[in-house]
A and B are shown apart, each in its own frame.
Chain A
Amino acid sequence: MKLPLSWLKEFVPGDLDPGVLTERLSMAGLEVEAVERLKPAFSDVVVAKVLRVERHPNAERLSVCEVDGGGAGRLNVVCGAPNVRAGMTSALAVVGARLAAEKNAGDQACGPALEAAVIRGVRSEGMLCSERELGLFDDHRGIVALPDDAPVGQSLADYLELDDCVFDVAVTPNRGDCLSILGLAREVAALLGRKLSPARTKRIRSVKRAAENSIAPIAIEITAPDLCPRYAALPMAKIAISDSPLWLRRRLKACGMRPVNNVVDVTNYLMLEIGQPLHAFDLDRLRQHRVIVRRAGEDRELETLDHVKRPLLKDDLVIADGEGPVAIAGVMGGLTSEVDNSTTRILLESAFFDPPSVTRTSRRLGLVSEASYRFERGVDRQGQIAALYRAAQLLSEVARGCEAGAVIDVEPQPQPIRQVEFSTKLITGLLGAAIPAGEAARRLRALGIKVKRTGKDSLEAVIPSFRADLREGADLAEEVARLTGLADIPTLPCRPSAEVGGEDQRRELLRAIGERLSACGLSEIKSLAFTAPEENRTFGRLQGTGPVKVTNPLSAELSELRQSLICGLVAALRFNLRREAQACHLFELGKVFYREHDELREGLRVAALSYGELAFRGLGERGRRADLFTLKGMIEGCLDTLGLVDKAEFVRLPGELAPYLHPGTATDVRLKTGGLLGRLGELHPELALTLEVDYPVAVCELDVGELITYGSLRKPVAPPPRFPAVRRDLALLLDRDFPAAQVRSVIAQADASLLESVELFDVYEGGSLPAGKKSVAVTCRYRAKDRTLTDQEVNLLHATVTSFAIERLGAVPR
């Protein structure tokens, strides 16, 4: 909401410092987002009266005028404007004046100083100016016409309040009452401890009553009282449509509104000033002279003022005449009943529309007007009639000769006065500040709230009709605190008595996963959760699940939620390869989303992508290139951190289950007890082709939920063994496809309690080996807790283990 200082001063007279005002409003919850200084685009221009106009002796289109410039004296001025006439009040630039440069009307840059000149033989000691020459508006059809009562000799800048300051106040959605100069003035007065002056026009003029017969009776009916509890209207006759006076247009412009004509401008002016939106119908275009406030029902469409045909739903509130809708209530008027230059009689509407109804319709149509913006936030429930009187008053000023009929007021549902009882204990309990009842009452009264003491600590507040946001004690506590900018609330140490629950283990695990992966050289990325359907089809496929679709996505490429983090990693790889990257080692920890059995689910995952050389290389050396096994090593490290490395196994996965992986590398990471932890592999060559990569791209994704459920950072700690271990190697000839890890796990099952560990150390095929066979070599480590093992003991043990392995694996010893 734009708040010009000059306008504010009509309600809060006296000195107002812009800096103080900005500070106080902002601290009280009405944040001043910007302060704009307005300056006139000219200097030395005064209000002047044209006394006499004569034809220029040597030029047909020019006039020679005698002008009274007040203190500037009586001057001879040559003028070319067609509208100049004796008796008119206008703007006179005296010698030395600077005017807005022609090109930048409205700009603050001033042109060269005006000099006295002889124009076609006649001396001109000044210049009567057009609005464009003054940088006010774009009108250059003639010279400025000011009202007759404009004080001759006064500086035009002062008269029009062009030296002004406009505050841009961010009004929160609960404060509909502050969407007006009056509402903000009420706040300012309360904040500064000033008195609020009653609303007034500059120039009060009595409104002429229209003769009974000059306005046909208007019938107003409300058939949707739930959506419109009050509808008031004022018919006016003998309206002459014209431009509004400059001062009025200037104020509209300062508040960011475009002047239209005197009738529309008055409705806008009052909306800005007191917050009540008004609408002017051309009375003679209201068929049957009837107004019905009703639901749209069967009516399907209305063409609004902006020449757009708007579809209507049956519950939209409309204003209809005898034949159909003429306005969408509170949102925008219809084209057929619009006020135009031929209008002579109008009906001014001043109503209270149900805020949610206006919000619904305005949102659906994507049409937010200054009026709907205010109706949505709630206008003064009792402000309708006063607004009509003010409008009549102002119209009689700007549309001379107009006459007003009688106000028609239909209020099927009067609003009961709301009273709120509250205690100072409530205020103290919420604020933590002891504010005495008397002080609380004083602050509330400053805001226009009537307050009665009903007991030692209890108060009763009568909520004014413009503060629909005040409903209970907590709201009043806020008002009390707000007025001093929360300054009386002390700062007390906060030590919650709540006991911390057990969920911090989770955070530790997550942190450990990230730290472990980054220690391996992977950098963490963050991708948006939105992705394209084809990405989900490629990376997301998990049996029995489907994608989560966004109903109102930003674009088709972002229309689903990711089912896998791998799409984000691949996108990041692509992004970085295009930006100088030779290698890319990334991970992400984040949520994925999927649909399962018609339920939307989310799960936390960690995924990694590793491409290109890994660090650990000296000058001129090549690092090891990432592949399945480098990434597997990182995963194993991660599982080790979580105490899961012995509980997990890596199992070959049929390629069709993970179509984004190279079928020869697709791997499931499983818990030995059953349950999938995640997937690992190298990217399918076809996908790699689209990335234009030269080496394998290893990717994996693990379910963090499972890692957290089964993992733990609390590992048992043991002292180092006191006696040495004895190692014995064992080489076995096996079928080529036999998984090496199984050799290890089978041998580990041998009935030998002193067998401490079995480590794979070589796998070899080809050479002298028979086709389809491979040699797998392991080291068996034997150790006793209480003594050094003798060779004989170990030989015996190893012989048992060897025969167990040969038998269970069907292998041939080498």
Chain B
Amino acid sequence: MAELAQSASLEQIENVRVKVLGRGGELTELLRSMREVPAQERPAIGQLANQVKRDIEERIEVLKNELRRRALGESLARAPLDVTLPGVQFPRGHIHPLTQITERLLDIWAAMGFEVIPTPDIEDDFHNFGALNFPSDHPARDMQDTFFLGDGLLLRTHTSNGQIRVMERRQPPLAVVCPGACYRRDELSVRYSPMFSQIEGFAVDEFGKITMAHLKGALTEFLRAFFGPTSQVRFRASFFPFTEPSAEADVRCIFCAGTGCRVCKHSGWIEILGAGMIHPNVLRAVGYDPQRYSGFAFGMGVERLALIKLGVDDMRLFFENDLRFLTQF
């Protein structure tokens, strides 16, 4: 008890507790030695011993509470912290903006029932051009200056090879998006990059089930999901070798709301993506009968969408990997 009274800390109290009440403690040993006590004395001595044990325990509890209260008081009396000091830094990495945008785009298409299928970057002429109705020695190929790898292989200039790769091994109905890197012989500059990413999408079903009207519907739904539900969308006739009819989809300029600015070249509209009904020659190239099947295809540039969405105007930002840029996302 005297030891207890002198105990100034919770730790010391615990030591006393162990010494007296713990396994092999003084009182425990005392209780254990009860066997040696005559049977008729045992209840009385046992009662006494238990009484002592309870007393000690109570005393310990009181002391502990007193010590805790004292500690509380000390803690409250402590000088206040300078709460303006910075918090502890935690590690945080950043996902590249192009990845974030790509994921967002794929999420939208996946929610609309499109399957995401990866396709190769290294291609042959047939899958990148021939099957997509780009005749050899045709100026349509000039639109896409190609990197060649020898042996008739090249780096794909668009993700449209995905159409051929998937249709070759599968039968309609199909609804597919193929994301990936593409390559064209442009120096890295404000507007171009020799490597960029696209998302190609297409849907094929029995002739007449998927029409230009459904293409308009799908793209409108997609563009509103990406740019906001009130976005205005328009479609213009265009040309791509692998679609007929071809169209381009524009969105009302999100920077000037259509009144005209530098970004939309004062047209009030921003060109977003190209699309169209899959050309009969493309269907023939993969062994589909164009009288039996038809479908639409579309392609969009991820960097372009990212630039518009983020409101920046320099393609190089995506590839020079300046952490001061990347850590903003």
**Distance between B122 CB and nearest chain A CB, rounded to angstroms:** 5
Per a CB cutoff under 8 Å, which of A357, A430, A526, A530 touches B211? A430
When distances are taken between beta carbons in the complex, the residues of chain A under 8 Å from B36 are none
Closest residue of chain B to A528, judged by CB?
Answer: B195
Bound complex: CA of A602 vs CA of B183, how far in Å? Answer: 15
A759 at the interface (CB under 8 A from B): no
Question: Contacts A359-B139, A496-B113, A496-B203 hold; do A548 and B277 have CB atoms under 8 A apart?
Answer: no
Taking a contact as CB atoms under 8 Å apart, the answer to whether B237 and A478 are in contact is yes
Taking a contact as CB atoms under 8 Å apart, the answer to whether A478 and B244 are in contact is yes
Bound complex: CA of A543 vs CA of B211, how far in Å? Answer: 51
Question: Contacts A173-B143, A528-B319 hold; do A558 and B148 have CB atoms under 8 A apart?
Answer: no
Bound complex: CA of A236 vs CA of B269, how far in Å? Answer: 52
When distances are taken between beta carbons in the complex, the residues of chain A under 8 Å from B236 are 26-29, 31, 485-486
Closest residue of chain A to B186, judged by CB?
Answer: A554
Known: A29-B236, A433-B212; 4 extra A-B contacts, CB below 8 A, are A481-B237, A528-B193, A554-B185, A616-B90
Bound complex: CA of A127 vs CA of B212, how far in Å? Answer: 63
B205 at the interface (CB under 8 A from A): yes
Taking a contact as CB atoms under 8 Å apart, the answer to whether A173 and B89 are in contact is no
20 A-B pairs, CB-CB below 8 angstroms?
A29-B237, A29-B246, A31-B238, A173-B138, A356-B137, A428-B211, A432-B214, A433-B212, A489-B213, A493-B221, A495-B112, A496-B112, A497-B175, A501-B115, A514-B99, A523-B94, A528-B194, A529-B181, A552-B185, A600-B151
Taking a contact as CB atoms under 8 Å apart, the answer to whether A524 and B277 are in contact is no
Per a CB cutoff under 8 Å, which of A493, A498, A614, A617 touches B174? A498
Bound complex: CA of A552 vs CA of B146, how far in Å? Answer: 9
Closest residue of chain B to A480, judged by CB?
Answer: B245
Closest residue of chain A to B220, judged by CB?
Answer: A491
Question: Contacts A496-B113, A506-B118, A572-B321 hold; do A174 and B93 have CB atoms under 8 A apart?
Answer: no
Taking a contact as CB atoms under 8 Å apart, the answer to whether A602 and B140 are in contact is no
Question: Contacts A430-B294, A498-B174 hold; do A526 and B221 have CB atoms under 8 A apart?
Answer: no
Question: Contacts A173-B142, A558-B194 hold; do A431 and B221 have CB atoms under 8 A apart?
Answer: no
**Distance between B290 CB and nearest chain A CB, rounded to angstroms:** 8
Taking a contact as CB atoms under 8 Å apart, the answer to whether A29 and B239 are in contact is yes
Bound complex: CA of A524 vs CA of B220, how far in Å? Answer: 31
A783 at the interface (CB under 8 A from B): no
Taking a contact as CB atoms under 8 Å apart, the answer to whether A517 and B237 are in contact is no
Taking a contact as CB atoms under 8 Å apart, the answer to whether B173 and A497 are in contact is yes
Question: Contacts A482-B237, A527-B319, A576-B321 hold; do A494 and B217 have CB atoms under 8 A apart?
Answer: yes
**Distance between B57 CB and nearest chain A CB, rounded to angstroms:** 25
* Max count, chain B CB within 10 A of own CB: residue among A363, A376, A491: A491
Taking a contact as CB atoms under 8 Å apart, the answer to whether A575 and B320 are in contact is yes
Bound complex: CA of A163 vs CA of B173, how far in Å? Answer: 57
When distances are taken between beta carbons in the complex, the residues of chain B under 8 Å from A591 are 121, 181
Task: Name B84-106 residues within 8 Å CB distance of A.
Answer: 85-96, 98-99, 103, 106
Taking a contact as CB atoms under 8 Å apart, the answer to whether B326 and A525 are in contact is yes
Bound complex: CA of A529 vs CA of B319, how far in Å? Answer: 10
Question: Contacts A474-B280, A552-B185 hold; do A526 and B321 have CB atoms under 8 A apart?
Answer: yes
**Distance between A57 CB and nearest chain B CB, rounded to angstroms:** 58
Task: Name A606-630 residues within 8 Å CB distance of B.
Answer: 614-619, 623
B235 at the interface (CB under 8 A from A): yes
* Max count, chain B CB within 10 A of own CB: residue among A486, A526, A618: A526
Bound complex: CA of A618 vs CA of B136, how far in Å? Answer: 64
B227 at the interface (CB under 8 A from A): no
**Distance between B243 CB and nearest chain A CB, rounded to angstroms:** 9
Taking a contact as CB atoms under 8 Å apart, the answer to whether B195 and A360 are in contact is no
A439 at the interface (CB under 8 A from B): no
Could you mark each residue 515-536 of chain A with 1 if its beta carbon is under 8 Å from any beta carbon of chain B, else 0? 1011111111111111000000
B21 at the interface (CB under 8 A from A): no
A436 at the interface (CB under 8 A from B): no
**Distance between A212 CB and nearest chain B CB, rounded to angstroms:** 43
Bound complex: CA of A504 vs CA of B106, how far in Å? Answer: 10
Taking a contact as CB atoms under 8 Å apart, the answer to whether B245 and A478 are in contact is yes
* Max count, chain A CB within 10 A of own CB: residue among B194, B237, B238, B318: B237
Taking a contact as CB atoms under 8 Å apart, the answer to whether A615 and B89 are in contact is yes
When distances are taken between beta carbons in the complex, the residues of chain A under 8 Å from B319 are 526-528
B117 at the interface (CB under 8 A from A): yes
Taking a contact as CB atoms under 8 Å apart, the answer to whether A551 and B148 are in contact is yes
Q: Report, as a range, how many residues of chain A touch the other chain.
A: 35 or more
When distances are taken between beta carbons in the complex, the residues of chain A under 8 Å from B114 are 496, 500
Task: Name A53-110 residues within 8 Å CB distance of B.
Answer: none
Bound complex: CA of A373 vs CA of B139, how far in Å? Answer: 9
Closest residue of chain A to B172, judged by CB?
Answer: A498
A214 at the interface (CB under 8 A from B): no
**Inter-chain CB contacts under 8 Å: number:** 285
**Distance between A535 CB and nearest chain B CB, rounded to angstroms:** 15
A352 at the interface (CB under 8 A from B): no
Per a CB cutoff under 8 Å, which of B88, B172, B213, B237 touches A27? B237
| Stretch of A129-137, A302-310, A580-588 contacting B (4+ beta carbons < 8 Å) | A580-588
**Which 6 A/B pairs are nearest by Cβ-Cβ distance?**
A432-B213, A432-B211, A521-B91, A496-B175, A518-B93, A478-B245
How many residues belonging to B are interface residues under a CB distance threshold of 8 Å?
96
Bound complex: CA of A551 vs CA of B146, how far in Å? Answer: 10
Taking a contact as CB atoms under 8 Å apart, the answer to whether B89 and A529 are in contact is no
Per a CB cutoff under 8 Å, which of A360, A373, A486, A498 touches B173? A498
A472 at the interface (CB under 8 A from B): yes
Taking a contact as CB atoms under 8 Å apart, the answer to whether A530 and B280 are in contact is no
Task: Name A404-422 residues within 8 Å CB distance of B.
Answer: none
When distances are taken between beta carbons in the complex, the residues of chain A under 8 Å from B327 are 523
A798 at the interface (CB under 8 A from B): no
Taking a contact as CB atoms under 8 Å apart, the answer to whether A520 and B321 are in contact is no
When distances are taken between beta carbons in the complex, the residues of chain B under 8 Å from A561 are 149, 155
A752 at the interface (CB under 8 A from B): no
Bound complex: CA of A482 vs CA of B117, how far in Å? Answer: 32
Closest residue of chain A to B323, judged by CB?
Answer: A576
When distances are taken between beta carbons in the complex, the residues of chain A under 8 Å from B155 are 529, 550, 561
When distances are taken between beta carbons in the complex, the residues of chain A under 8 Å from B261 are none
**Distance between A705 CB and nearest chain B CB, rounded to angstroms:** 11
Question: Contacts A31-B236, A474-B279, A496-B114 hold; do A527 and B321 have CB atoms under 8 A apart?
Answer: yes
Taking a contact as CB atoms under 8 Å apart, the answer to whether B117 and A503 are in contact is yes
B74 at the interface (CB under 8 A from A): no
Bound complex: CA of A472 vs CA of B173, how far in Å? Answer: 24
Could you mark each residue 12-42 of chain B with 1 if its beta carbon is under 8 Å from any beta carbon of chain A, else 0? 0000000000000000000000000000000
When distances are taken between beta carbons in the complex, the residues of chain A under 8 Å from B135 are 356
Closest residue of chain B to A30, judged by CB?
Answer: B237
Per a CB cutoff under 8 Å, which of B96, B174, B245, B280 touches A431? B245
When distances are taken between beta carbons in the complex, the residues of chain A under 8 Å from B94 are 518, 523-524
Taking a contact as CB atoms under 8 Å apart, the answer to whether B245 and A430 are in contact is yes
Taking a contact as CB atoms under 8 Å apart, the answer to whether A600 and B149 are in contact is yes
Question: Contacts A172-B239, A496-B203 hold; do A551 and B149 have CB atoms under 8 A apart?
Answer: yes
Bound complex: CA of A739 vs CA of B67, how far in Å? Answer: 49
Could you mark each residue 415-454 of chain A with 1 if its beta carbon is under 8 Å from any beta carbon of chain B, else 0? 0000000000000111111000000000000000000000
B147 at the interface (CB under 8 A from A): yes
Bound complex: CA of A517 vs CA of B194, how far in Å? Answer: 27
Question: Contacts A430-B294, A600-B149, A614-B91 hold; do A174 and B205 have CB atoms under 8 A apart?
Answer: no
When distances are taken between beta carbons in the complex, the residues of chain A under 8 Å from B235 are 486, 489
A719 at the interface (CB under 8 A from B): no
Task: Name B263-277 residues within 8 Å CB distance of A.
Answer: 265, 277
B127 at the interface (CB under 8 A from A): no
Task: Name A674-714 residues within 8 Å CB distance of B.
Answer: none
When distances are taken between beta carbons in the complex, the residues of chain A under 8 Å from B238 are 29, 31, 172
Taking a contact as CB atoms under 8 Å apart, the answer to whether A486 and B212 are in contact is yes
Per a CB cutoff under 8 Å, which of A173, A493, A523 touches B140? A173
When distances are taken between beta carbons in the complex, the residues of chain A under 8 Å from B71 are none
B110 at the interface (CB under 8 A from A): yes
Question: Contacts A486-B237, A550-B148 hold; do A491 and B216 have CB atoms under 8 A apart?
Answer: yes
Task: Name A565-592 residues within 8 Å CB distance of B.
Answer: 568, 571-572, 575-576, 579-581, 584-587, 589-591
Could you mark each residue 166-178 of chain A with 1 if its beta carbon is under 8 Å from any beta carbon of chain B, else 0? 0000001111000
